[in-house]
Amino acid sequence: MAIYKFPEVNDKVIDESLSPLLNQLLLARGITKKAEVDEFLAPNYETHLHDPKAMNDMEAACVRIEEAMKNDERIGIFSDYDCDGIPGAVVLHDFFTSIGYTNFQNYIPHRHFEGFGLSTKAVDKLKEDGVSLIITIDCGTSNVEEVAHATKEGVGVIITDHHEAPTELPKAVAIVNPKLGNYPFDGLCGAGVVFKLIQALLERNDYGLIPGKEKWWLDMVGVATIADMVPLVDENRALAHYGLKVLRKSRRPGLQQLLKKARVNQLYLTEEDIGFTIGPRVNAASRMDTPEDAFYMLAETDLEKASERVEHLEKLNQDRKTQVALMTKDIHKRLKALEEVPAVLVMGSPDWRPSLVGLAASKLAEEYNKPVFLWGTDGNGVYKGSCRSGGTVSVVTLMEGCKDVFIEHGGHHFSGGFSVKDEHIHSFGQSLNEAMHELGAEAEIKEEVQIDAELSLNDVNQLIIKELERLAPFGTGNHKPVFAFKNVTPRQVDVFGKTKEHTKIIFDSENGQLEAISFFQKPEDFNKVPTANTPFTLLANVEQSFFMGRRQIRMMIVDII
């Protein structure tokens, strides 16, 4: 259950040149000094990025790559299959292509059949192709056995990764990871780490590239930084800021065609377009087919070929939506047959793809307001699944309460993943419900939502949009401001969409008609059911939309209380 915390009265001014609202929003983000304000509001590529040479094993990585290129060794780029690994793979692909080095290949594991991380199967395949050096992206820090196998086979491995380091590290040529050593910021995503590797290589040798050429690859770094939900502070803020700038000008034909197909104006592209348009289509490739589909869509320079890739990804994304809808329909049918809906919903099928169950679990957890665990089988016959909390119970605490039934489990309070031992697949639901009963209040989580400021409807105008643009991009570590509109009375409350599952509330203000929107929530889903001509407190974000070429300032509903 969300607990809403209203802002305390605070007259502190960090910067007198800024509006009271902007001062308040900066204070809410822990920014209290003038120097911090300047860095936050005006990210600078030249001064706000850290020295790439400071990252763990960076020199060893550069020396080995330079040696491989000098000897014309075949290099294998092994990346994860998500919206961090794939853009990172595109960045390194573009670097090698730009400097004229062609003796390399990309390898992205199949999510369904190979799973996450470097595998001995992949090492053997790359060796068969003549690869003598593997560079990982967004994985590898925990692949001790696989790196040992590669070394035994005469294949060197450079790991670039950002995941937490285990006690035992692989004996790789180099492990370039900001969570190791003394790098000043450990929050980079996988694509961000490989970009730092490229920066380090270019500091040692410009390879004939025009100075600043690498900035064009920030479009992919920006996509990954925002999509992978790493904290948008410190170096990530600069990478995301400039990444969005480059994305709005990006010449990648695949990206341009994808945005055109989705009716997104590239000139006004925002972090939300990455989250709702680019990210899902990149991830659809590995969820539904082969991840290379997304890689080549982003890396392709030929317009016709890129357009074909976009069409294919669009079809995969639609197929994904259809399969999740059918899965959800099947679950609803099963739930209707139950005399009583259990405290923890646990369902699965050998026919379901583990890569899709998390999407269905999110919908069901939101609908039933309780934890949901769904499972399927991967390409190797292992029972795998995803869980979502419903906002009330920690799924990690629940899984810890009956951990003997799992092969693996992990995540955070609101979502996680797991694999189940064969002998427990039909009984682990009962184990989870027993754990829920035994843990009681210990498993509960209370989500605290900070209200950034109180506004009136008359404050919602172009001026506040300009203020918010200075704080963007928003995401983890820099949440989208939540505003409270107290005692507001709507003229109209409607539901819209094909299945009438979205809410629209219309208000009158001195700036004209204002709309407050919520997707996939009906009026009865809020803390207080809104009705026309009845006052309530609206909690909402304020944003500018360019959907279908129409510019509109609107509010996105967080809750009604």
- Alpha carbon separation from 390 to 363, 395, 482 (Å, rounded): 9, 9, 21
- Is-contact 44 237, C-beta < 8 A? no
- Could you tell me which CATH class the domain 338-447 is placed in? alpha beta
Four-way CATH pick for 52-228: 1.10.20.10, 3.90.1640.30, 3.30.2180.10, 1.10.15.40: 3.90.1640.30
Q: d(Cα 372, Cα 387) in Å, to the nearest integer?
A: 5
Q: d(Cα 96, Cα 137) in Å, to the nearest integer?
A: 15
Bridging pattern class, strands 502-509 and 492-496: antiparallel
Angle at 108 between CA 103 and CA 114, to 5 degrees: 135
Four-way CATH pick for 2-12+451-560: 2.40.50.460, 3.40.470.10, 1.20.1440.230, 3.30.565.10: 2.40.50.460
- Quote the pTM value: 0.89
- Is-contact 459 509, C-beta < 8 A? no
Q: What is the pLDDT of residue 520?
A: 85
SS3 343: coil
Which token pair is 115? 């799973």
Q: d(Cα 156, Cα 395) in Å, to the nearest integer?
A: 39
Beta strand ranges found along 453-491 (DSSP E) = 453-454, 483-488
Give the bridge partners for 104, in sequence order: 75
Q: What is the pLDDT of residue 1?
A: 61
**DSSP labels, 5-49:** EPPPP----S-TTS-HHHHHHHHHTT--SHHHHHHHHS--TTTSS
The full set of domain ranges for the chain reads 2-12+451-560, 52-228, 338-447
Which token pair is 155? 């294949």
Q: d(Cα 545, Cα 168) in Å, to the nearest integer?
A: 48
Per-residue pLDDT of the chain (561 residues; tens, 9 = 90+): 678 888 877 778 888 899 999 999 999 898 989 889 988 999 999 999 999 999 999 999 999 999 999 999 999 999 999 999 999 999 999 999 999 999 999 999 998 889 889 999 999 999 999 999 999 999 999 999 999 999 999 999 999 999 999 999 999 999 999 999 999 999 999 999 999 999 999 999 999 999 999 999 999 999 999 999 999 999 999 999 999 999 999 999 999 999 999 999 999 999 999 999 999 999 999 999 889 999 999 999 999 999 999 999 999 999 999 999 999 999 999 999 998 999 999 999 999 999 999 999 999 998 898 999 999 999 889 999 999 998 889 999 999 999 999 999 988 888 999 999 999 999 999 999 999 999 988 888 877 888 999 999 999 999 999 999 999 999 999 999 999 999 999 999 999 998 898 999 999 999 899 999 999 889 998 999 999 999 999 999 999 988 777 889 999 999 999
* Of 168, 119, 122, the residue nearest 141 (C-alpha): 168
Sequence-distant (≥ 6) Cβ neighbours of residue 367 within 8 angstroms: none
Q: What is the pLDDT of residue 250?
A: 96
Q: d(Cα 354, Cα 360) in Å, to the nearest integer?
A: 11
* Of 320, 399, 332, 392, the residue nearest 359 (C-alpha): 320
Q: d(Cα 300, Cα 196) in Å, to the nearest integer?
A: 23
Handedness of CA 223, 224, 225, 226 (dihedral sign): positive
Q: Buried b / exposed e across 277-296, counting CB within 10 Å, b at 16+?
A: bbbbbbbbbbbbbbbbbbbb
User: H/E element holding 193?
Assistant: helix 190-204
DSSP state of 112: T
Bridging pattern class, strands 2-5 and 447-450: parallel
